């Protein structure tokens, strides 16, 4: 009897221990006090992981452990920030909710006199209520790639206005080679921002207190996307807009995709590559390229916020050689600082893109623009462009959701 | 007696514990969250009563998505059930290589939804001329179609429905085969001697014999239809967005409330509870219809 009881209590204890082990597996154990945990998402380019581990190992101030996170990194960060002290340092695009919940800390004091050197749009994209929460690590942008030889053959000049773009796409379409590829959703996800900017509008008003597309011109500009969807656009490509496949395999004469594809595209097409910003609707609007990139942030629940900040300052403000290597050695990004970007941009398309970014860069994903508002707008744009729905009515619904979300963020 | 009770708990205990920890606690917690303003937190303090429910029930997109998937369920459930039953009858009748066919039809069930979705999206139904379906179309003089990108007519449903059938038919087929083998053979012999036609035998012996399995298959199908996520997300969506059509309720909640962007856990939970209630309600209704038809 006694032996059996013991066996039972052994099982109970073992079970509880098992549960306890699961419960406490937050990664906090097993590393020495004072170790900083630094998270990155899994970059697709070879060599990035080795490089960031090398940077971390070189930090003299503390031991830094780098964690590489394949998969749905953004969701992982959101979950970690809710109740975990890990990571201490991570890369992300700022969300205003994180600021409201005090999950990240301001980093203004890290910049010092280098503030003016950072590309302004990038700093703005990581700023909420005048405080900076992320140090930009690099510049990511998207541009319009075109094949000069195909344009010449069709008798088309590189489009400077939206109407010219619509016209060019129609004339470049030969059936087997389509005019433009901007994603299998007909450009809804990636062109919504550039279209708004081309009409002089934006996701949010300048002060961020209202939607920025409460204007009849919004209906007009999304009507142009409808025209594109009615002819000449490549749909149903095996790869999506973020991959250079459709363009380099000759499925489309133009493609809207990331600067990160420039090396692959020039490798495949040699000199037959031109780049353009997204054209303007008319003189009241602007040509544009969307600008964004992960920035380094510090978890407010970190066991040692000061140490984490010191490390971020060392890596992303002081070590300019690492910053240049990180941005340029593995794929085509640009360093987040103008002095470094100017040095690295050689000739050709890369140099033009630096100009686009400094002259016409716009914030791709404003921190105050919530995902729910974004889905409502993209629903509206999708219905207008792909199904021919009534633009004013659809945009009205999106405006209502956007206003609700803005009001919530200010509550 | 005590010994058997102990054995019972030894075997059932781990399962019950798992069920509690990973199913019932999350359900309860989610219901709790649905009454709070739970932005970016699982331990909210701001009680808002039914506000989240009012919010989802007045959200045209959410309601639209639930009604789209009610129509989807009304189509996919009879289709899946009928085809799975037909397959089961065929495989059950053949005399040779029965195990082979059973395995072949069951095999897709072991395939990951994500993998199947990508094969359907990037290879079979890709919109370029070289896509498999477009190539076959071309042999018969058909124009290449952008299967996933075409909204009018909604060709994307062809892709979504075929991948789902391919993935799920095998599993339901196996359930039906198991049930078919439980029907005593002497019933058929007796019917045959009495001069019953094959159709009569099916109507009066096979179908009644399958009744329990049929209800199980319909219920599983129903839950599956409303909880659609994987293949829809992987074929039509990505981290940047999802078009406003063929959008399952869970995908909508994922993008607006539960995913990487907006962690509005209260609203997302309210939506999930509403969806669970819809599933429960429809299940009860079908159960009632079946009982009446008995």
Q: What is the pLDDT of residues A115-137, one digit of tens each?
A: 999 988 889 889 998 999 999 99
Which pLDDT score, from 0 to 100, does residue A13 have? 46
Tens of pLDDT, residue by residue over A128-175, are 989 999 999 998 899 999 999 999 999 999 999 999 999 999 999 998
Question: How confident is the model at residue B241, as a pLDDT?
Answer: 80
User: What is the distance in angstroms between the Cα of A192 and the nearest Cα belonging to chain B?
Assistant: 12
Q: State residue A4's pLDDT score.
A: 44
Residue of B nearest to A82 (CA): B41
What HEC string does A239-290 produce?
A: CCCCCCHHHHCCCEEEEEEEHHHHHHHHHHHCCCCEEECECECCCCCCCEEE
Contact B21, A22 (CB under 8 A): no
| Residue-wise pLDDT tens digits, B9-42 | 999 999 999 999 999 999 999 999 999 998 877 8
Of residues B147, B240, B264, nearest to A236 (C-beta): B147
In this model, does residue A327 exceed pLDDT 50?
yes
Interface test with chain A among B54, B249, B263, B265, by most A beta carbons within 10 Å? B263
The CA–CA distances, whole Å, from B211 to A43, A408, B85 equal 53, 52, 12
CA-closest candidate to residue B179, choices B281, B44, B262, B88:
B88
Compute the average pLDDT of residues A89-99.
91
Distance between CA atoms of residues A340 and A319, nearest Å: 12
A375 and B60 in contact by Cβ < 8 A?
Answer: no
Assign domain A141-291+370-409 to its CATH architecture.
3-Layer(aba) Sandwich (3.40)
First to last CA, chain A: 63
In 3D space, the residue among A271, A237, A243 whose CA is nearest the CA of residue A258 turns out to be A243
Could you give the ipTM of this predicted complex? Answer: 0.83
Touching A: B residues 13-52, CB under 8 Å: 17, 39-43
Q: What is the Cβ-side half-sphere exposure of residue A7, based on CA atoms within 13 angstroms?
A: 7
Mean pLDDT of A307-326: 94
The secondary structure element, H or E, covering residue A91 is strand A89-92
Mean pLDDT of chain A: 87
Instruction: Mutate one of A183, A236, A380 to test the B interface: name it (highest B CB count within 10 A).
Output: A236
Do B122 and A238 lie within an 8 Å CB cutoff? yes
First to last CA, chain B: 41
Average pLDDT over residues B256-277: 86
Could you tell me the residue ranges of all domains in chain B? 54-293
In this complex, do A375 and B241 lie within 8 Å of one another by their Cβ atoms?
A: yes
Higher pLDDT, A60 or B240: A60
Closest to A123 in 3D by CA, of A337, A305, A343: A337
Stretch B208-230: mean pLDDT, rounded? Answer: 91
Place A188 in a pLDDT band, splitting at 50, 70 and 90. very high
pLDDT-based confidence at residue A372 (cuts at 50, 70, 90): confident
Coil, helix or strand at residue A29: coil
Average pLDDT over residues A64-76: 89
What's the rounded mean pLDDT across residues B188-211? Answer: 91
CATH 1.10.3720.10 fits B54-293, yes or no: yes
**CATH 3.40.190.10 segments of chain A:** 36-139+293-355, 141-291+370-409
pLDDT tier at A2 (50, 70, 90 boundaries)? Answer: very low
- Which chain A residues contact residue B261 at CB under 8 A? 74, 95, 370-372, 374
Confidence at residue A347, expressed as pLDDT on a 0 to 100 scale: 63
Q: Which residue of chain A comes nearest to B244, CA vs CA?
A: A379
Is residue A240 less than 8 Å (CB to CB) from chain B? yes
For B131-168, what is each residue's pLDDT tens digit? 899 999 889 988 888 888 888 889 999 999 999 999 99
Please give, rounded to a whole number of angstroms, the shortest distance from the CA of B276 to a CA of chain A: 22
Residue A21 pLDDT > 70: no
Q: Please state which of the four CATH numbers 3.40.630.40, 3.40.190.10, 3.40.190.170, 1.10.10.10 is assigned to the domain occupying A36-139+293-355.
A: 3.40.190.10
Task: Report yes or no: A159 and A254 within 8 Å, Cβ to Cβ.
Answer: no
Which residues of chain A does B149 touch, with a Cβ-Cβ cutoff of 8 Å?
A: 184-186, 235-236
């Amino acid at each position: 009897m006694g032996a059996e009881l013991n066996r039972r209590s052994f099982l109970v204890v073992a079970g509880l221990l098992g549960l306890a082990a699961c419960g406490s597996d937050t990664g906090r154990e097993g590393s020495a006090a004072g170790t900083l945990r630094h998270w990155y998402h899994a970059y697709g380019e070879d060599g990035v992981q080795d490089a960031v581990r090398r940077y971390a190992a070189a930090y003299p101030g503390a031991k830094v452990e780098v964690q590489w996170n394949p998969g749905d990194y953004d969701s992982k960060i959101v979950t970690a920030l809710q109740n975990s002290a890990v990571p201490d340092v991570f890369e992300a695009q700022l969300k205003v909710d994180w600021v409201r919940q005090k999950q990240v800390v301001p980093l203004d004091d890290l910049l010092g006199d280098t503030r003016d050197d950072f590309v302004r749009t990038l700093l703005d994209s990581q700023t909420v209520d005048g405080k900076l929460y992320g140090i930009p690590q690099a510049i990511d942008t998207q541009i319009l790639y075109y094949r000069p030889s195909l344009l010449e053959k069709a008798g088309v000049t590189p489009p400077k206005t939206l109407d010219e773009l619509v016209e060019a796409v129609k004339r470049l379409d030969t059936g087997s080679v389509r005019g433009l590829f901007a994603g299998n959703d007909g450009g809804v996800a990636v062109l919504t921002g550039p279209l708004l900017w081309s009409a002089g509008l934006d996701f949010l008003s300048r002060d961020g207190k209202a939607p920025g597309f409460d204007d009849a011109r919004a209906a007009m500009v999304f009507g142009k996307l409808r025209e594109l969807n009615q002819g000449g656009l490549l749909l149903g490509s095996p790869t999506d807009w973020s991959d250079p496949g459709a363009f380099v395999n000759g499925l489309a004469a133009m493609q809207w995709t990331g600067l990160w594809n420039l090396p692959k595209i020039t490798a495949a097409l040699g000199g037959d590559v031109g780049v353009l910003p997204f054209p303007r609707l008319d003189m009241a609007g602007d040509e544009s390229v969307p600008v964004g990139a992960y920035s380094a942030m510090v978890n407010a629940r970190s066991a040692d916020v000061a140490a984490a900040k010191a490390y971020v300052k060392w890596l992303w403000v002081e070590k300019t050689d690492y910053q240049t290597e990180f941005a340029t050695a593995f794929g085509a990004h640009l360093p987040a600082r103008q002095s470094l970007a100017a040095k690295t941009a050689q000739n050709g398309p890369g140099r033009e893109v630096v100009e686009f970014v400094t002259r016409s860069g716009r914030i791709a994903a404003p921190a105050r623009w919530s995902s729910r508002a974004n889905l409502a707008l993209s629903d509206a744009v999708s219905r207008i462009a792909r199904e021919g729905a009534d633009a004013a009515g659809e945009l009205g619904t999106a405006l209502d959701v956007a206003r609700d979300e803005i009001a919530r963020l200010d509550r | 007696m005590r010994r058997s009770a102990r054995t019972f708990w030894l075997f059932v205990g781990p399962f019950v514990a798992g069920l509690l920890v990973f199913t019932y606690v999350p359900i309860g917690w989610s219901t709790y969250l649905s009454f709070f303003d739970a932005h970016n937190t699982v331990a909210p303090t701001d009680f808002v009563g039914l506000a989240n429910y009012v919010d989802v029930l007045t959200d045209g997109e959410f309601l639209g998505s639930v009604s789209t998937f009610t129509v989807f369920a009304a189509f996919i459930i009879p289709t899946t059930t009928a085809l799975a039953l037909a397959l089961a009858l065929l495989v059950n009748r053949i005399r040779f290589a029965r195990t082979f066919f059973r395995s072949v039809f069951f095999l897709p069930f072991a395939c990951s939804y994500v993998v199947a979705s990508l094969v359907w999206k990037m290879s079979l139904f890709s919109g370029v001329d070289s896509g498999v379906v477009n190539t076959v179309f071309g042999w018969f003089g058909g124009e290449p179609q952008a299967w996933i990108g075409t909204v009018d007519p909604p060709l994307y449903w062809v892709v979504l429905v075929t991948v789902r059938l391919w993935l799920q038919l095998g599993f339901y087929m196996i359930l039906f085969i198991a049930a078919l083998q439980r029907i005593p053979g002497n019933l058929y012999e007796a019917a045959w001697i009495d001069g019953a036609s094959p159709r009569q035998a099916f109507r009066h012996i096979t179908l009644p014999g399958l009744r329990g399995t049929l209800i199980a298959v319909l219920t599983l199908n129903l839950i599956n239809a409303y909880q659609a996520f994987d293949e829809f997300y992987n074929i039509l969506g990505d981290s940047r967005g999802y078009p406003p059509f063929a959008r399952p309720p869970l995908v909508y909640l994922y993008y607006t409330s539960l995913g990487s962007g907006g962690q509005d856990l209260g609203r997302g939970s309210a939506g999930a509870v509403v969806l669970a209630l819809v599933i429960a309600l429809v299940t009860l209704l079908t159960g009632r219809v079946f009982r009446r038809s008995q």
